[in-house]
Structure 1
Amino acid sequence: MISKASDGICGPYQQVGPAYPSGIPNLEDPVVWHSGGLYHIVVNSWSTRVAYHLTSKDGRTNWVNRGLAYDPRKNFLRYTDGTINHWDKLERPGVLLENGHVKYFTLAALDVEKNEERGNDTHGSKVLVIPFDGEAFDRDLAKIIAAEEAAAPAALPKQGQ
């Protein structure tokens, strides 16, 4: 749920809307930020082992599922020398903003199933810090949204108008 407090962080809080669109199962560990004129959520679906990217213009209503944010089974974590890392589990996303745009994503990573990780072995969880071009991302997403809005049918007038 999305909540707000009028008297600071200690509350009391008032629920102002649902956080997620329906149809995405078992969500956990959301990170929320504002950039490019939009509110963003990246959130894990623990049962499907992927994360989703959602956007909203006001941060309370009309959350749009923009698709997968990341999938640990895909080759998306590449070093400049071409090395590709694979992780069994990626979760707990975080963002670092600089000048109003995402500069880095952080993810908790584990290279084996959680129940196979033992203390004092080489499989302890790690924190990945991933450089991200948030300025380009916000610019590209603005173009996508403009195209979506241009393609949307005009709202019908209310009855009696």
Structure 2
Amino acid sequence: GTGKTHLAVALGREAIRRNYSVQFVTAATLVAMLAKAHADGALDKQLALLSRPKLLIIDELGYLPFEANAAHLFFQLVSRRYERGSILLTSNRSVGEWGEVFSDPVVATAILDRLLHHSTVITIRGDSYRLREKRRSGLLQKAGASIREVETTTS
């Protein structure tokens, strides 16, 4: 709600405008694709496909924790793309929390080591613009209100 995906899409569009190949995928979809390819014996093929674009945008990393196998599959993708293609990630979690995201601090450290080596980190702080609009309209009173409270208020 702070504009992370919006910014990622804008950067992707600019990369396309400059004739770079770009692929956009949510983290949940990506993990499902990798897990299916692994189960089907086609992981190398899927990793090769995901290594083709100059820029791979992975949206919503950390909204749901990865299972151990998914974290290892994600590590393989990051390793395959390391120093060969750019990865743009959006996440609602700080890098200090990635041990929890990947359910394994060692795997998280290995992933971060490769991702942060040539990276620029942009931190966006602030309230969700969706909730901010509800507060402005008077439908939401407190800053920590849950989505359930918003639904109840707007019903």
The verdict on a shared fold, with TM-score over 0.5 as the criterion, is no
Larger radius of gyration: 1
TM-score, scaled relative to structure 1:
0.22
Structure with the bigger RCO (C-alpha within 8 Å, sep 6+) is 2
